[in-house]
């Protein structure tokens, strides 16, 4: 099984600021200096500062857990998580292909016994930079469903950043909140460093 996605290198740094726009206006934000992006923290969510993450990710936040959920994104009883990371530069014309492949790889990684169906794939922009968003409906292989949303941002010609949101079990209100976190993203000043490669 191909592990992940958009592999990265180097360390990370983050701190809290406050944003003013969108559905999460005024909420504290994570500024992930390694990925070069900032995103909002919904009320009741936890910023996982100091938590050890696998190499593909540079920061994360988690929502409230729910009873009875199956395995997903490292949460034993379900819930919601948003993870950020960085990679090498991706041409605008290649954003859709790369993010769709990365989203499927993540679905296979977090739900190895499941399957996924694409529900949405569209171009967008983050702080004026080209980006692409894809949404997957995931059957976890154990009778449950998960919601996966991923946005890949062309920060500049040499670097890209991504946000990955997961909700398990899928729920309309929880899905909407994860989507709002990804939509709150802005590009900040990234640390200089070597981005990882995108596995074939």
- For the cut 60, the answer to whether the pLDDT of residue 54 exceeds it is yes
Kindly list the distances between the CA atom of residue 87 and the CA atoms of 7, 29, 137, 141, in Å, as whole numbers in the listed order: 6, 21, 25, 30
- For the cut 90, the answer to whether the pLDDT of residue 51 exceeds it is no
Average pLDDT over residues 26-37: 92
Lowest mean pLDDT among 37-46, 104-113, 185-194: 185-194
pLDDT in tens, 79-91: 999 999 999 999 9
Give residue 56's pLDDT.
76
Structure confidence at residue 193 as a pLDDT band (50, 70, 90): very low
Positive or negative, the CA dihedral 152, 155, 157, 158 is negative
- For the cut 60, the answer to whether the pLDDT of residue 3 exceeds it is no
Give residue 127's pLDDT.
94
| Predicted structure pTM score | 0.80
Average pLDDT over residues 44-62: 82
Percent of the chain whose predicted confidence (pLDDT) is above 90: 65
pLDDT in tens, 119-147: 999 999 999 999 999 999 999 999 999 99
Ordered by start, the domain boundaries in the chain are 14-187
pLDDT in tens, 156-189: 999 999 999 999 999 899 999 999 999 999 998 6
Give residue 78's pLDDT.
72
Domain 14-187 part of CATH 3.40.1000.10: yes
């Amino acid at each position: 099984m191909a592990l992940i996605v958009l592999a990265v290198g180097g360390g990370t740094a983050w701190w809290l600021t406050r944003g003013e726009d969108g559905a999460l206006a005024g909420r504290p934000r994570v500024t992930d200096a390694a990925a070069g992006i900032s995103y909002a923290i919904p009320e009741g969510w936890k910023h996982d500062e100091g938590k050890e993450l696998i190499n593909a990710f540079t920061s994360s936040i988690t929502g409230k857990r729910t009873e009875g959920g199956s395995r997903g994104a490292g949460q034993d009883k379900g819930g919601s998580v948003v993870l950020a990371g960085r990679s090498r530069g991706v041409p605008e014309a290649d954003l859709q292909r790369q993010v769709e492949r990365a989203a499927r790889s993540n679905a296979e990684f977090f739900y190895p016994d499941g399957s996924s169906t694409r529900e949405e794939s569209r171009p967008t922009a983050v702080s004026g930079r080209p980006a692409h968003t894809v949404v997957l409906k995931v059957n976890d292989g154990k009778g449950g469903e998960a919601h996966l949303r991923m946005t890949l941002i062309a920060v500049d010609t040499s670097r890209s950043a991504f946000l990955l949101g997961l909700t398990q079990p899928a729920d309309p209100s929880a899905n909407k909140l994860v989507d709002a976190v990804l939509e709150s993203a802005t590009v900040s000043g990234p640390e200089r460093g070597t981005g990882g490669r995108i596995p074939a």
